[in-house]
Chains A and B, each alone.
Chain A
Amino acid sequence: MSYDNELYQQVILDHNRKPRNFHEMENATHCCHGVNPLCGDDITVYLKVDEAEEVVEDVSFTGSGCAISKASTSLMTNHLKGKKIDECRVVFDEFHKMVLGEFEPEKQEHHLGKLTLFQGIREYPSRTKCASLAWHTMVGALDKKTEGVSTE
């Protein structure tokens, strides 16, 4: 019962089944809605940012989508909690480049941790958007994009 591609690993499966930080956030300071029209993935990312310290104190999300998008969002929320805003943008940049095949975590210093699990998505360019939707939405929230973000 396994798949060659590391995409569908236990961790991703687990986060798909039991997504972490999967709830609305009442006292959110930032929020953004993101859609992937091709797949129908539809999520909202909530952030609680301490503006003085420039720290993301809390992250949560709601929505629906495929296993890749759900697990990616869930893992992102865990990964970013407590990080400085600047660090969040660095991780976004590294993650985005990794799924596009432009960044090799095994060869370069990185801040991705477990998120390297999503490297396998590069074999499926049509699905990189499933993995990166959460991240675009998170940056949209930081940038206060009230109109939301779309992968198309």
Chain B
Amino acid sequence: MGDAKTISIEKPCIDVDKIRADFPVLSKEIGGKPLIYLDNGATTQKPWQVINRVSQFDSEEYGTVRRGSYRLCENSTRLYEEARQKVADFLGAPTRQEIVFTSGTTQAINLVAHSFGRKFVNAGDEVIISNIEHHANTVPWQVLCEEKGATLKVIPVADNGELVMEEYDKLLTDKTRIVAVNHVSNALGTINPIKEITRKAHSVGAKVLVDGAQSAPHMKVDVKDIDCDFYTFSGHKMYAPSGIGGMFGKMEVMETMPPYVTGGDMIMQVTLGKTTYAKPPARFEAGTPPISQVIGLGAAIDYIGGIGMDKIFEYEKSLLNYGTRLLSDIDGLRIIGNAKEKAALLSIYLESAHPHDIITMLDQDGIALRGGHHCAQPTMIRFGVPATARASMAFYNKYEELDALAEGLKKIIKFFS
């Protein structure tokens, strides 16, 4: 067994205690024990800055958007579009019109699969995903390929959790219409070489969708630099309210795409005979959007932008390094996924205890982890485990919390031995 004291700790590049004071839930107790929240890959907690902004908007400024010319609505519309600009700046998008709001990553990927997919993917064509995708970036493409008689190809993953890029090269053909991969794997933490993946896909004329649900909250993203055609994200994984997220889409690509959901606000003109559609992003935002949630997303981006994405990445990396060394010393514990480029996530497998027992037992120590297949069953199958216990970190986590996790896991191993 390792001794936590022998592992050197890098001095945090951010003031973690000051940050923690911004998150009211982090000072709560679960069954008399301080909450140790390590399920940030599933959803993140919210700071006062987001909670208060949404509360203030709802109590003093709330109005519909784009549907009225009275001042309450004009102001609400302005704030809504300002939030769109914040997202555009956050992702490095050239214009705010290239940001489409959706309920989250799942809906954004479905939008592209239904709209782009229905129009441009036909019988005999090919779609490429990877073996380490979330079901949200697997099932929409399976359904599309089945409907169209297209072929779904899968980039294999090596034992360390990295995609096998030589195999990717072989999968690309002039029939490839779209490549859909995540930036960071939610099950393993692998950071994928999406710039290279995009460049190679473009060389055969294919478009690229990057699922950014696990990356956008944790590192600096620049969609111009990546050059991808779509980049999706979820607000609730980046300290914003649930029910809001969206995607960047290149304007020249989105302009060629038909609507996905139809109704109000996505039209240019409607007669009973024919409807013409609005330009993106309105074309893809039918119906009244989640307005307060968009305002909350803007506040969340201001908050993490204030800390700095480079600092967030650096600190979370030091948490990962510390946690990895701590857990590597525990006998009977296996970390699934050891990619060289990895986000702050540890997928844990114990020889002696089922992941669901681990989660329930850690919960009794106040430690919150996700146990299960992480909506990535093909990944679990590939690594020969039914499920894992996943500790996913955020910039408000502390080294001491990882010590507690390690102690909790040792206790479970001893209990079951």
Is B147 an interface residue, CB under 8 A from the partner? no
B354–A1 contact, CB under 8 A? no
Number of A-B residue pairs having CB atoms within 8 Å of each other in the complex? 44
Which single member of A4, A16, A130 contacts B356 (CB below 8 Å)?
Answer: A130
B356–A66 contact, CB under 8 A? yes
Output the nearest chain B residue to A38 by Cβ-Cβ distance. B372
Q: Which residues of the other chain, B, contact A7 by a CB distance below 8 angstroms?
A: 360
Is B414 an interface residue, CB under 8 A from the partner? yes
**A-contact 0/1 string along B343-362, CB 8 Å cutoff:** 00000000001111100110
Output the nearest chain B residue to A124 by Cβ-Cβ distance. B360
Is A85 an interface residue, CB under 8 A from the partner? no
A13–B357 contact, CB under 8 A? no
For window 10-67 of chain B, which residues contact chain A by CB distance below 8 Å?
Answer: 31
Is A108 an interface residue, CB under 8 A from the partner? no
Task: Given the known inter-chain contacts A65-B354, A66-B356, A124-B360, please indicate yes or no for A39 contacting B416, CB distance below 8 A.
Answer: no
Is A8 an interface residue, CB under 8 A from the partner? yes
| Interface range, A side | 10 to 19
Task: Given the known inter-chain contacts A38-B372, A40-B386, A40-B387, please indicate yes or no for A3 contacting B357, CB distance below 8 A.
Answer: no
* A19 CB, nearest partner CB in chain B, Å: 13
Q: Which residues of the other chain, B, contact A17 by a CB distance below 8 angstroms?
A: 416
Q: Which residues of the other chain, A, contact B357 by a CB distance below 8 angstroms?
A: 8, 66-68
Q: Which residues of the other chain, A, contact B411 by a CB distance below 8 angstroms?
A: 1
A127–B356 contact, CB under 8 A? yes
Which single member of B354, B372, B386, B414 contacts A67 (CB below 8 Å)?
Answer: B354
For window 90-135 of chain A, which residues contact chain B by CB distance below 8 Å?
Answer: 124, 127, 130
Output the nearest chain A residue to B414 by Cβ-Cβ distance. A1
Is A5 an interface residue, CB under 8 A from the partner? yes
Which single member of A3, A16, A65, A130 contacts B361 (CB below 8 Å)?
Answer: A3
Which single member of A13, A38, A39 contacts B415 (CB below 8 Å)?
Answer: A13
Task: Given the known inter-chain contacts A1-B411, A8-B415, please indicate yes or no for A67 contacting B353, CB distance below 8 A.
Answer: yes
Interface residue SS majority, chain B: helix
Q: Roughly how many angstroms separate A8 CA and B363 CA in the complex, as a whole number?
A: 12
For window 1-60 of chain A, which residues contact chain B by CB distance below 8 Å?
Answer: 1, 3-5, 7-8, 13, 16-17, 38-40
A4–B31 contact, CB under 8 A? yes
For window 353-406 of chain B, which residues contact chain A by CB distance below 8 Å?
Answer: 353-357, 360-361, 363-364, 372-373, 386-387
Task: Given the known inter-chain contacts A39-B387, A66-B356, please indicate yes or no for A4 contacting B364, CB distance below 8 A.
Answer: yes
Q: Which residues of the other chain, B, contact A3 by a CB distance below 8 angstroms?
A: 361, 364, 415
Task: Given the known inter-chain contacts A39-B387, A67-B416, please indicate yes or no for A5 contacting B353, CB distance below 8 A.
Answer: no
Q: Which residues of the other chain, A, contact B355 by a CB distance below 8 angstroms?
A: 66
* B246 CB, nearest partner CB in chain A, Å: 29
Q: Roughly how many angstroms separate A38 CA and B353 CA in the complex, as a whole number?
A: 17
A13–B360 contact, CB under 8 A? no
Among B353, B360, B363, B411: residue with most chain A CB under 10 A: B360
Which single member of A4, A13, A40 contacts B416 (CB below 8 Å)?
Answer: A13
* A129 CB, nearest partner CB in chain B, Å: 10
With A1-B414, A127-B360 given, name 17 new contacts (CB 8 A): A4-B364, A5-B360, A8-B357, A8-B361, A13-B415, A16-B416, A38-B372, A39-B356, A39-B387, A40-B387, A65-B354, A66-B354, A68-B357, A68-B360, A124-B360, A124-B363, A130-B356
Which 8 pairs of residues, A with B, have the shortest CB-CB distance? A66-B354, A40-B386, A66-B356, A67-B357, A3-B364, A66-B357, A39-B356, A4-B364
Binding site for B on A (CB under 8 A): 1, 3-5, 7-8, 13, 16-17, 38-40, 65-68, 124, 127, 130
Q: List 23 A-B residue pairs with CB atoms under 8 Å apart, sorted by A's residue number.
A: A1-B411, A3-B415, A4-B364, A5-B360, A5-B364, A8-B357, A8-B361, A8-B415, A13-B415, A13-B416, A16-B416, A38-B372, A40-B386, A66-B354, A66-B355, A66-B356, A66-B357, A67-B416, A68-B356, A68-B360, A124-B363, A127-B356, A127-B360
